[in-house]
Structure 1
Amino acid sequence: MKSATQAARLLTPRNTTRRETMGLWLGLLGVFVFALTLPMTRLATGSAEHPQLSPWFVTWGRAALAGALSVVYLLLTRSPWPTPAQRKPLTMALLGNVIGFPLLLGSALRHVSASHAAVVIALLPLATAAAAAWLLHQRARLGFWVFAVLGSLLVVAYSLVRAYHQTGGFGWAWADLLLVGAVIAASLGYVYGAQVTATLGAERVICWVCVMALPITVPGTWLTWPTHAVAASAWMALLYVGVFSMWAGFFAWFRGLAMGGALRVSQTQLLQPFISILAAVPLLGEPLDMMTLGFALAVVATVFTGKRYAIAPSGLQR
């Protein structure tokens, strides 16, 4: 009788509201953690003129840190091993989120500012929805593809205008192609990870992905260990992207989605590019560029509108 009373108490509107509010705050915390990934990665790798840690070392090192923490978590929670059917999606998530995204992002940030990268990375929610439509065989509405193309064109326009301001000519920078590759890699990794989230559990997905990568990331960290002097700020930035961006941020984000509702909490992701741009000012000394903010706002607007058309009505799915 006591347990039934407690269960009924948990279902009261007041407690439901508190749970949703807590979920929203956890989602915002996750977004804040992920937003700092761009300036922190730039701080870790340095620039082409003043290099710090290599993008390869940052990729392996951050994943190795997250993998070590994941081993502890999985042991403490007595998590079961992934089934053979779960290993393929986990492997694809590993390739996209553990290797592809950080390596391409770190390489690009050697040549462009974190604010610049934030505009391109703002396409990630649309790219993830497009990957889901492709891999999960869901037919999105025409409006989604229209806004996806519009958002992509805005990013291209931003890159061309930025190139003109810097060099006096129009051109597509190599770093922008790396950033687009990072968006594609992350979106594919997210979708493959989502395929096993329902059966494995959200937190265990990121943990198993990082643990499965340890046979690659530990030797990779050792082989790419820097032989030159590296600033303490770069090491601290590596610690951040390993512990928070690669691991703890997902715990807050996934828990927030579960508690506050995915539809509501996922909208907080629209704040991510602006947090990245603002954080780059004190962390990296980057100027607050109104043109960058304007393009970021335009891209986010297309993401917000496009996500409303991401999935077609059930009768149009195949």
Structure 2
Amino acid sequence: MRAKSNVIVPAGVTLGALGVLGFSFSLPATRLAVAGLDPWFVAFGRALVAGVLAIAYLALSRAPLPTVTQLRRLVIVAAGIVVGFPLFTSLALTTQTSAHGAVVIAVLPMCTAVWAVVRAAERPPVAFWLASGAGLLAVLAFVATGGGLSGSLSLADAYLLIAVLLCGLGYAEGGALSRELGGARTICWALVVSLPATIPISLYTADFSRATPVVWLSFAYVALISMFLGFFAWYAGLAAGGVAKIGQIQLAQPVLTLMWSAVVLGEPVGWPALATAAVVVVCVVLTQRSRVPATTAVADPQPVR
């Protein structure tokens, strides 16, 4: 029985991996969506669709209203993952490919870990930082040698860096808050809090004259998966396993995104992708083995509901 229990994948890792799998297609889908829709509509429209679904979920689950303190924290979550990341990635991908976007997005796990230290009071050990740093360097080396880096900071690069900064904050704050509200309710309340902004901006930027079936399918993906269902698994995983620790699973996302870009968008991905994927998997395993002290992971933790 003891040997069997040692190979069971923790729930936080499983949920986090499902979230990353869903998010890994976000950049290619966004790239396809902004080809026929205004990038502002892609960013705010997907949050509006997800917000309507969130209202339905909260009503059916009879979720209690968040406290005033939780509402303030939900504003931070919304600023990061409902508004900030979708908007700035949409703006960047009007001129850049999803493969290029994967270069900058590769720093998101490290950014999440840093925000976890600031916002969630987590204190990962040195081994954790070494493993996550090695995985980050491996991913950056892969995309750089594959032609992902342009060699200069363009406006699109600046957008992507801002997106990563805000998204890391939203992940860290949302992961900590999920210990109180639960993963599903955290993203749902964040979407509801954002509705006063997402509704008018979506209506103002709505222009469907160039939208094709592929564009609409891509928009549906970023609305239903990237902005809604993916966060059910992701925030639940962060709450169960710790923000900094589970956040490192996202080191695999740039490689997965490049794979999707090759399959869907026809961008070439050679054998180095396989080697990099293997290195990233090893680094992710090492981060999971490095323990975040339970006494400092999150102040006043509560069980996920």
TM-score for both structures, normalised by structure 1: 0.76
Change (3 A) 1:225 1:74: same
Aligned 8 A contact 2:183 2:233 in 1: no
SS at match of 2:162: helix
Q: Report if aligned partners of 2:74, 2:189 keep a CA contact under 8 Å in 1.
A: yes
The answer on whether the counterparts of 2:109 and 2:249 sit within 8 Å (CA) in structure 1 is no
Deviation at residue 282 of structure 1 after TM alignment: 2.6
Structure 2: state its 5+ residue gaps. Answer: 300-305
Unaligned runs of 5+ in 1: 1-11, 47-51
1:178 paired residue number:
159
Q: What is residue 49 of structure 1 aligned with on the other side?
A: none
Please state how far the C-alpha of 1:135 moved relative to its aligned partner. Answer: 2.4
Match of 1:189 in 2: 170
Q: Is 1:90 matched with 2:81?
A: no
Give, in whole Å, the separation in 1 of the partners of 2:159 and 2:44: 18
* Structure 2 residue aligned with 1:3: none
The farther-off stretch of 120-129 and 233-242 is 120-129
Partner residue of 2:268 out of 280, 287, 306: 287
How many residue pairs end up in the alignment? 296
Residue 115 (structure 1) aligns with: 99
Matches within 5 A, 1:41-80: 41-46=30-35, 52-80=36-64
CA contact (8 A) 2:104 2:160 kept: yes
For 2:22 and 2:138, the matched residues in 1 are separated by 26
Q: Deviations over 1:130-189 (max 9, x none)?
A: 1111223444545555667777777777787677987xxx42333222222211111101
* Amino acid aligned to 2:180: T
Once residues 287 and 270 of structure 1 are traced to their aligned partners in structure 2, the CA distance between those partners, rounded to angstroms, is 21
Alignment of 1:137-176 (within 5 A): 137-142=121-126, 170-176=151-157
Largest Rg, 1 or 2: 1
What SS does the aligned partner of 1:57 have? helix
How far apart are 1:292 and its partner, in Å?
A: 6.7
- 1:250 matched residue in structure 2: 231
> Deviation at 1:196?
2.0
Change (3 A) 1:293 1:96: farther
Q: Distance in 2 between matches of 1:137 and 1:17?
A: 28
Q: Distance in 1 between matches of 2:19 and 2:120?
A: 26
Q: Taking structure 1 as reference, are residues 290 and 112 closer, same or farther at Cα in structure 2, changes over 3 Å only?
A: farther
Distance 2:255 2:42 in 1: 24
Q: Does the 8 Å CA contact 2:255/2:273 hold for their aligned counterparts?
A: no
Distance 1:144 1:23, change over 3 A: closer
Asked whether the equivalents of residues 96 and 186 of structure 1 are also in contact (C-alpha less than 8 Å), the reply is yes
Identity value in percent: 37
Quick one: distance in 2 between partners of 1:118 and 1:164? 8
Contact between 1:147 and 1:305, CA under 8 Å: does it hold in 2?
yes
Letter of the structure 1 residue corresponding to residue 205 of structure 2: T
TM-score by length of 2: 0.78
Instruction: Report the CA distance between 1:204 and its aligned residue.
Output: 0.3
Shift of 1:92: 0.4
Q: 2:23 aligns with which of 34, 37, 45?
A: 34
8 Å contact from structure 1 (residues 126, 307) kept in 2: no
Residue identity in the other structure for 1:103:
L
